[in-house]
Structure 1
Amino acid sequence: MSTDTTADAITSRPAGREARERLYRYLLFTCAATSIFITVGIVFLLAKDAIDFFTMVSPVEFFTGTTWLLPRNEFGVLPLLTGTLLVTIIAAAIALPIGVAAAVYLSEYASERARSILKPALEILAGIPTVVYGIFALVYVTPFLRIFGLPLNTFNVLSASLMVGIMIIPMVSSLSEDAMSAVPDSLREAAYGIGATKYEVSTGVVIPAAVSGIFSSFILALSRAIGETMIVAVAMGSRSRLFDFANPLQNLWQGNQPMTAAMIQINSADNVSGPGFKSMFAIGLTLFVITFLMNLASNRIAARYREEYN
């Protein structure tokens, strides 16, 4: 057989194969376009109802008001926003260091057998229904913290925030461990070659090399914490409060209401109509913008510090 005939046999494609490839291409494009269309549709409908709300309530009143009381048609979102940020900050203070430490252990210290057991066991936390976390915070965490003399109300910010932090640990640890595992072994071997210890390699080589992936895991976990609903709805109560700068710890002992819990309250109320009902979409749009900006910043920072290895 000649060389030309062999080359033609290798590069040629049967008509049926080309048709299947074309079908797969169109099918995959349809799936991608459908997901984008659904997302755009949700945002459009959310913005449409939010605009209806802002025709009845001034945006200045909504974004600068310090009181959220539906019965009195007071729609200041600042108490809800501060409640959301308070939960997110406390949850981040718990989940980020623990998640990164767990990722370092799984990536650098654990044996293959230990990793095969510990990583799936850690990720089981991500499969627990969030309402279970909320009930656990209400029934067990709050009484436990009271043993240490903390003056916690039945519904309080601290217990809910602790459980939100525990809930997002698997996301931080799993994504960070994946980023650390992607660091080439040649970097580790070079560090060991100049006498570095395992701790020095982990903190001075692996973590800096994987910083873009680690930071992305932080942003995704914080976005998940901001959007958490059931834990805060069960364990934090339903009364919104503006952050008290004069007595910061008091904000942890008492209950509060983040934006997601307020949306549940609005949707479950039978007598809410007009601007009260439409306010749910304004809160949702505000929450969407916050998480969108966080993910946008994550992508920019990850692209800025991403390392490429050949």
Structure 2
Amino acid sequence: MPFAALASATTPTRRIGLGLAAVGRPGYINLGRDEDLGADRGVEALRTRTHDLLDAAYAQGVRYFDAARSYGRSEEFLADWLTKRPDADDVVIGSKWGYAYTADWSTDAERHEVKDHSLAAYERQRAESDALLGDRLDLYQIHSVTPDSPALTDRDLHARLAEAAAQGLTIGFSTSGPAQADAVRAALAVTVDGAPLFRTVQSTYNALETSAEPALAEAHDAGLTVIVKEGMANGRLAEAHAPDALRSVAEETGLACDAVALALVLRKPWADVVLSGAATAVQLASNLHAAVVDLDDDRLARLAALPEDPHAYWERRARLPWH
């Protein structure tokens, strides 16, 4: 497993990864992004920003980087950085297939991405990812599996994924939506020739959306590496939007709301890697303070009152504007 070195590392930030959803394309749904990125959203501006973030993350001990075919040019930017940084041969690279980027580098496109979990989509996007990342790609995940996804029942697709696994590529999946727990459990049951197909799961979990926790604990116990995404709830847990309980705890710790929000996830014994979705080096540095946040029982009890009904949470997320 490519994550073995991360799990056994003594550097606290090794358990924090960097996701490139917010910087690989000009439009995304994170709150506050207008201020984060400013007016220049050109390809070269975002390429430079991504490289700066990757440099900062690597210098501070981060060793997992997460991209996707639908994150605009995230794979391209990451591949460029890897070429420039031959010293970064100890990083783990993950990407995802199953969504195609369709916004044509626009922030106001009618559709920014299109979902397709078919075998044909896998073949096409695997070739695209390989052309950019080649043998640096360690983990390939099905993007946003839901309980009704055909990727859970397509035996021809499973066979092709198993072939890729036999050749050394780790196969995983990510989840989204209010039924994440059902999707995780359905994926755990997928086997090829009696062996489990998936070795990693990436799911949304944060102070406001905790519904997948039991299933993620089951996945961890089954031997899967659990990656947590959207620990900041697309900016809803950042300083400008954080609920009062989170603000209060952050003030007591002397650190920012984002560090506390991510620390809450890091302390879960089933969470192997927690993603930062930072768009700036300053945000990243603040996120990485999560590794040293002290959350005592009283603080944890106050934060435990924050979770929302998962359907309400995902309905609100669906209404966030692309900007």
Q: TM bucket by the smaller chain?
A: under 0.3
The structure richer in strand per residue is: 2
Per the normalisation by structure 2, the TM-score is: 0.20
Q: Which structure exhibits the higher relative contact order, with contacts defined as CA atoms closer than 8 Å and separated by 6 or more residues?
A: 1
